[in-house]
Amino acid sequence: MKIKGEIFKRWEFIIFLLLLLEILVFGFFNSSFLNIKNILYSTTDFAHISLVALPLTLVIITGGIDISIASIMGLTSIVIGSTWSLGAPIQVAVSLGLLSGIAAGTFNGFLVAYTDIQPLVITLGTMFLYSGIATGIAGSLGASGYNGIGDFPEGFLSFAYGSIGFIPSSMIYIILFALFLGFILHRHWLGRSIYLIGVNVNTALYNGIKVKLVIVLTYTLTGLGSAIAGILLTSYFTSARSDLGSEALLPALTAVVLGGTNILGGSGTIIGTFIAAIFLGILKQGLMALGVTNNVSQVVIGLVLIVAVAAKLFFTKLKMNSGNSKIQTE
């Protein structure tokens, strides 16, 4: 009974209610929105954002930030495209793409953990670094920025377009990745260390937590998520381009914050980011379906973010007050 009550008091539950409400509202205007299949497919356009927002949650809980995620997607894409066009088998090309994303993330992590420079500044620098490398490789292969590198085999293209039953494969990747990260964050010592660092990095250090290792790993995981997103986008657009996913940063940050993660670190959950990302994906699709222009939908998303965060602050205060009185009376 007690656990049940706890769930209803959680921010994730409120976001989930908002998601249901959102579907009902859009369904009111367009009944096809009430079809589960449509709902699931409407999230594919947003899949790459979910894939980076999930590990980015870990980085932000430690008190860090990574704004190079979009560049890592582009870099991954170009590494796949260039190795493929140079004659490597697609499996090798994809593996190299994945590795380049992981390496880029790990490099971010090392710089953050071993220097005193703020993560924002470091990843701002590597954002330019990675996109510079990607454009450089693309240019040296003579691929135009607009068309990119194409002619991928059928099998690779099914990566983004496949499905199991009525569940699109991109949704399956997101769910698997979310489960993996959820276990890491909420059940593994690494995840606990992430919270401890976010709440008080000095206490974590004094208590023997491997602070530097943990920080590096959070950025490595974000690199991994960006790389998977980059692979997905390359498959989705059937061409490798250095600017793939370049618009992903702000929606990904929005999903993390909307999901209840404190932008200053210390709190947040994977399920929160997961639900918030779906919420944003459907919001964008729904507005589009209603004929709202892209500019206006940006305004709506911005407003939703601010209202939601303000509501969350109000909500936590309320919860804290009731919590305090409980402590006093017991």
Partner 1 sequence: MIHGEKIPDSEMRKDLVELNGIWKSFNGVAVLRGVNLDLKSGEIHALLGGNGSGKSTLMKILSGIYRKNAGTIRISGEECNFLNPSQAHESGIYLVPQEPKIFPNLSIEENIIIGTSYTLGSKTEEIKKMGQQLGFSESLSRPAGILSIAGQQLLEILRGLLRNVKILILDEPTSTLTFREVESLFKQLRNLKNQGIGVFFISHRINEILEIADRVSVLRDGNFVLDKPVAQLNETTLINAMLPDDRISKKIEETSQKKIAEGLAPLLKIRNLTGEAFNGISFSVMPGEIVGLAGVVGAGRTELAEGIVGIDKNVTGEVIIGNESFSQRSPGRSRKKGIVYVPEDRAAHGIFLDLQNLYTTSSSILSEMGKLFISNKKERQLGEYFIKKLGIKTNGPKQISRTLSGGNQQKIVISRAMACNPKVIILDEPTRGVDAEAREDVYDIIKSLIDLDVGILLISSDLEEVIRLSDRILVMYRGEIIEELSKDESTIERVTSGAFGVAG
Judged by the rule CB under 8 A, the positions of this chain that interact with partner 1 are 183, 187-189, 192-193, 195-196, 199-200, 202-210, 266-267, 323-330
Residue 138 Cβ vs partner 1, minimum distance, rounded to whole Å: 41
The residue (of 198 and 251) whose beta carbon lies closer to partner 1 is 198
CA–CA distance, 171 with 41 (Å, rounded to integer): 8
Alpha carbon 49 to chain centroid distance? 5
CA–CA distance, 47 with 166 (Å, rounded to integer): 16
- β-pairing, 163-164 vs 167-168, is antiparallel
Residue 60 Cβ vs partner 1, minimum distance, rounded to whole Å: 16
CA–CA distance, 120 with 60 (Å, rounded to integer): 11
The residue (of 205 and 289) whose beta carbon lies closer to partner 1 is 205
Residue 192 Cβ vs partner 1, minimum distance, rounded to whole Å: 6
Say if residue 40 is exposed, middle or buried (CB neighbours under 10 Å; 0-12, 13-18, 19+): middle
The residue (of 172 and 205) whose beta carbon lies closer to partner 1 is 205
**Sole residue written with tokens 């593996």:** 95
Tokens of 264: 């200053």
Tell me the Cα Rg of the chain: 20
The residue (of 16 and 195) whose beta carbon lies closer to partner 1 is 195
Amino acid symbol at 134: A
- Taking alpha carbons only, the member of 142, 132, 97 closest to residue 232 is 97
Residue 324 Cβ vs partner 1, minimum distance, rounded to whole Å: 6
Residue 329 Cβ vs partner 1, minimum distance, rounded to whole Å: 7
The residue (of 29 and 189) whose beta carbon lies closer to partner 1 is 189
78 contacts: CB under 8 Å, gap ≥ 6: 134, 135, 137, 138, 149, 240, 241, 242
The residue (of 6 and 247) whose beta carbon lies closer to partner 1 is 6
Residue 262 Cβ vs partner 1, minimum distance, rounded to whole Å: 10
